[in-house]
Structure 1
Amino acid sequence: MHSFEAGARQTTEALRSLFPETPLQRNEHLSARYGADIWLKREDLTPVRSYKLRGAFNAMRKVRAKAPDQREFVCASAGNHAQGVAFACRHFGVHGTIFMPVTTPQQKIDKTRIFGGDNITIELTGDYFDQTLAAAQAWCRDRHAHFLAPFDDPDVIEGQASVAVEIIDQLGRAPDVVVLPVGGGGLASGVTGYLREVAPETRFQFVEPKGGASLAAALEHGGPVKLPKVNSFVDGAAVAKLGELTWRRLDWIRPEQVHLAPEDRICTTMLEMLNVEGIVLEPAGALAVDVLPEIAPLIRGKTVVCVTSGGNFDFERLPEVKERAQRYAGVKKYFILRMPQRPGALREFLSMLGPEDDIARFEYLKKSARNFGSVLIGIETKRAENFAHFTGRMDAAEFSYRDITDDEALTEFLI
């Protein structure tokens, strides 16, 4: 046995003291749609609803084996890594200090506290993750605690490799293709590291959020670079810079294997999985399914495993997810309309709406002049092509309007 394979197998066996293997389920709906044999590796069904528990457990297990007296652990995380560390602290009976940004949603703080119980302390510090991370590392130095990195750590990577060990054991053979989400690269490093040893014929496709494409940037520049801006919507995978260690394990990837998922499109996938399959996925957890239309020609007739990496979704975000999905599908648009301030103007405008069009938002913004008023209007319809008829009628009537649906700055401010 190669050393990485042996380590991954030992880790997988050790993990059984914590939780059973997560299901590998054939998905009939996706298999029929893409003419492939598609399986979902349900990492959203671990005790903390993400694969992160694997790496946190293994790193803590290895530290404890080398230094049994080490009882203080620290991490910085606003999400799944924090919950994995908290769960592992309780399992090993050690103490963890978990640093989270002040802006972390209360639901995530509460869940982390439930998993860790009396074995953890939560420190809220920093508005941004970089500030939180710096505070956690400074705290470690002062108190000789062990810092548990979320992805850039060989023991964490080995822990995530247990996903691949289970896939081979459950499927009984090597899949043709494995589709992996990428954030900092820990899961991708672990799964590819194992499968490239035991199943060299397996091929890989990778997907990262368009607003956090750290692997694509690293491949372009020949090494990890910090992205100037990150869209935090896909919070489980929105990482500004790929890990140095994970990069060394992923530098063989070809750029054409890496796909970027638009955040609004991910929302359509989340809703479909919820409505059709009854599967709750967080944005990062939906990445591997979301990319299937893009890679459809590559997977036809093949056995494909998509890793659904997490299901920590706060349902208070559901209206936002629905909104973004509708915008991506082209069935919801926002306009700023210059409305003449005269009797009958509103009635004239309303007559332009088609039978399938519905007003979802109507708000006077300001009276920019005595004769005209600016109106923010949101319209939902059943089919995207209805908007061409609607705007055509407005053009014919010489109504002045501006479509702001894709104007990120304006929609963030107004909607």
Structure 2
Amino acid sequence: MKETIRAAKAAAEALRSVFDATPLQRNDHLSQKYDADIWLKREDLSPVRSYKLRGAFTAMRKHLEANPAQSRFVCASAGNHAQGVAFACRHFGVQGTIFMPVTTPQQKIDKTRMFGASHVEIVLTGDYFDQTLSAAKEFCATKGAHFLSPFDDTDVILGQASVAVELMDQLGKSPDFVVLPVGGGGLASGVTAYLREVDPKIAFRFVEPLGGASLRAALRAGHPETLGQVNSFVDGAAVARLGDKTYRMLDWVNPSHVLLAPEDRICITMLEMLNVEGIVLEPAGALSLDVLPEIADSIRGKTVVCITSGGNFDFERLPEVKERAQRFAGLKKYFILRMPQRPGALRDFLEMLGPDDDIARFEYLKKSARNFGSVLIGIETKRSENFTILFAKLDEAAFPYRDITNDGVLSEFLI
């Protein structure tokens, strides 16, 4: 038996002391929709609601086996890795210092503290993650603690490979396709390393958020590159730079097999899974499902495993997710209308609205001229074509307007 297979199976077996294998579930809704045999590997149902526990536990276990006197571990994370490390610290009875940005939502801080209990100390420092990471590494250097990387670590990658061990055992055969989300590359590296040894015929597709395409950038450059800007909405996968180790394990990937998921479109997928299937996914957890329409022709009639990598979703974000989904689908728009300052002008505008059009926002911004006032208007509708009809009516009535739905600067200040 090859060493990769043997090590991954040993890692999976060791994890059974912490939690049972996460379910591999056939999804009838998606299978019918795409005329394929689609299975979901439910990492959102692990004890910390993400796969990150696997890597943290495995790396901590192996380090303690080699260094039994080690008593303190450190990580820098604002999310799932922090929770995995906290859980592992409590399991092994060691102390953990978890550095988190000052801007980390309280819900994530509370969950990390809950998993680690008295075994973790949380240090809030830095407005940006890079500052937090620097503080964590400086602490390690001065205190002799061991740093646990979220993805760029051989033992962390080995722990993530246990996902592949389980899905093969559960499916009982090789899938035709495996669809993997990518952030720093730890999960993708571990899963593909194992499955390529087991069956080289398995095909892979990799999914990154549009605003954090670090794998695609690395493949194009021939080495990891730091992205100049990252959209943090998909916080579980919005990584500015692929790991050095993970790149070396993924440099064989065909760039055309790396798909990009727009952040707002991911919201449509999240709502579909919540409303139709009752499955709560965080943005990163929905990545593998979001690209199914793009690969529909390739997977028709095939057996497909999609890894749903996490379900740590704060329901206070639900209004934002709904808003993003509506805007991407063309069902909600914002525009600035120059309203004539005359009796009946508002009534004239209201009569232009169709039976499916709802006013979601109406706010006078200022009286920009003696005869006109600027109004911020948000409209929701049931069919995107309804906006074509509305805007035609506005043009015909000579009501000047500006669609600001996709204007990042104006949207940030006004909406």
**Short-chain TM bin:** over 0.9
Which residue type is aligned with residue 385 of structure 1? E
* TM-score of the two chains, using structure 2 as the length reference: 0.99
Which residue of structure 2 aligns with residue 361 of structure 1? 361
Deviations 1:349-405 (A, max 9, x none): 111101110100001111222221111100000111111110000000000000111
Which residue of structure 2 aligns with residue 199 of structure 1? 199
User: What is the CA-CA distance between 1:153 and the residue it aligns to?
Assistant: 0.1
Which residue type is aligned with residue 118 of structure 1? S
User: What is the CA-CA distance between 1:409 and the residue it aligns to?
Assistant: 1.7
Deviations 1:302-360 (A, max 9, x none): 00000000000000000000000000111100001111111111111111101110100
Deviation larger for 90-99 or 400-409 = 400-409
Distance 1:46 1:330 in 2: 35
Which residue type is aligned with residue 374 of structure 2? S
Which residue of structure 2 aligns with residue 344 of structure 1? 344
Which residue type is aligned with residue 319 of structure 1? P
Which residue type is aligned with residue 148 of structure 2? L
User: What is the CA-CA distance between 1:412 and the residue it aligns to?
Assistant: 1.8
Which residue of structure 2 aligns with residue 43 of structure 1? 43
Distance 1:221 1:363 in 2: 47
Which residue of structure 1 aligns with residue 242 of structure 2? 242
Note the residue ranges of structure 2 that are not aligned, 5 or more in a row.
none
Deviations 1:232-268 (A, max 9, x none): 0000000000000000000000111000000010000
Distance 1:408 1:38 in 2: 36
Q: Does the alignment pair 1:187 with 2:187?
A: yes
Which residue of structure 1 aligns with residue 403 of structure 2? 403
User: What is the CA-CA distance between 1:2 and the residue it aligns to?
Assistant: 1.4
Distance 2:51 2:210 in 1: 22
Which residue type is aligned with residue 244 of structure 1? D
Distance 1:2 1:149 in 2: 26
Which residue of structure 2 aligns with residue 268 of structure 1? 268
Distance 1:286 1:145 in 2: 35
Which residue of structure 1 aligns with residue 92 of structure 2? 92
Q: Does the alignment pair 1:121 with 2:86?
A: no
Which residue type is aligned with residue 96 of structure 2? G
Which residue of structure 1 aligns with residue 383 of structure 2? 383
Q: Aligned with 1:225: secondary structure?
A: coil
Deviations 1:101-124 (A, max 9, x none): 000000000000000000000000
Distance 1:349 1:216 in 2: 47
User: What is the CA-CA distance between 1:60 and the residue it aligns to?
Assistant: 0.1
Which residue type is aligned with residue 253 of structure 2? I
Which residue type is aligned with residue 349 of structure 1? F
Which residue of structure 1 aligns with residue 229 of structure 2? 229
Distance 2:88 2:157 in 1: 16
Distance 2:413 2:53 in 1: 37
Distance 1:251 1:413 in 2: 41
Which residue of structure 2 aligns with residue 53 of structure 1? 53
Distance 1:146 1:367 in 2: 61
Q: Does the alignment pair 1:320 with 2:320?
A: yes
Distance 1:132 1:170 in 2: 39
Q: Aligned with 1:217: secondary structure?
A: helix
Deviation larger for 241-250 or 362-371 = 362-371
Q: Aligned with 2:373: secondary structure?
A: strand
Deviation larger for 336-345 or 260-269 = 336-345
Q: In percent, how many aligned pairs have the same letter? A: 75
User: What is the CA-CA distance between 1:408 and the residue it aligns to?
Assistant: 1.5
> 1:250-261, aligned counterparts within 5 Å?
250-261=250-261
Which residue of structure 1 aligns with residue 163 of structure 2? 163
User: What is the CA-CA distance between 1:413 and the residue it aligns to?
Assistant: 1.7
Which residue of structure 1 aligns with residue 66 of structure 2? 66
Q: Aligned-residue CA RMSD in angstroms? A: 0.5
User: What is the CA-CA distance between 1:98 and the residue it aligns to?
Assistant: 0.2
Note the residue ranges of structure 1 that are not aligned, 5 or more in a row.
none
Which residue of structure 1 aligns with residue 102 of structure 2? 102
Q: Aligned with 1:123: secondary structure?
A: strand
Q: Aligned with 1:252: secondary structure?
A: coil
Which residue of structure 1 aligns with residue 178 of structure 2? 178
Which residue of structure 1 aligns with residue 29 of structure 2? 29
Q: Aligned with 2:136: secondary structure?
A: helix
Q: Aligned with 2:359: secondary structure?
A: strand
Distance 1:33 1:48 in 2: 30
Q: Does the alignment pair 1:210 with 2:210?
A: yes
